[in-house]
Amino acid sequence: MKLGGNQDPRPILLVDVDGVLNPWESEFCPAGYAEFEFFPGERVLLCPGHGRLLASLADSYELVWATAWEHNANRLICPVLGLPDLPVVEFPLSGRDIFFRKLPSVIQAVGDRPCAWIDDVHLPDHYEWAQQRDVPTLIIDIDPAEGFTSAIAEQLARWAAALTDRP
């Protein structure tokens, strides 16, 4: 699946859920978060403020889910965060661990558009791919005990602004 095509001048922001929007390694439910049990026995922590942070980036980025949640992110996460449905990078059902299946699908989805990728598990091949691309690519590691923060949103906003300032 190719996203937005070359007609969209914005870079793509690839957003993971677990570890990014759901700080699953947090011992307690952090202030501002609510606990959800979308799947039996699986605690999901979500902060409505993340919806505002992501929405603040939507003028600068095409927001895209890059998560094992795939379309469930639109069905379950978007209503909590107050976001519209987002495009989804789909990952193959077969093959090794999901972490190793993400990159080929991301490569296909982003094509030759600039992109930023926020995830709590970036593997060495993610960095190699980012360094070898001919277009700007930003990889941001998220602490899965802390999740997405306003500081990270500000970093993303600055990076996107710097792209528009390029000749």
Domains located in the chain, CATH noted:
12-164 (3.40.50.1000)
Tell which residue, 61, 82, 73, 78, has the closest CA to residue 16. 73
> Given this model, what pLDDT does residue 8 score?
83
Section 90-115 average pLDDT: 81
Section 105-133 average pLDDT: 95
> Given this model, what pLDDT does residue 6 score?
56
**114 pLDDT exceeds 70?**
yes
The most confident of 55-64, 84-93, 158-167, by mean pLDDT: 55-64
Distance between CA atoms of residues 112 and 134, nearest Å: 8
pLDDT, the chain, mean: 91
Taking phi over 0 as left and psi of -120 to 50 as alpha, with beta for the rest, 58 belongs to alpha
**41 pLDDT exceeds 90?**
no
Torsion of CA 73, 52, 119, 90, to 10 degrees: 30
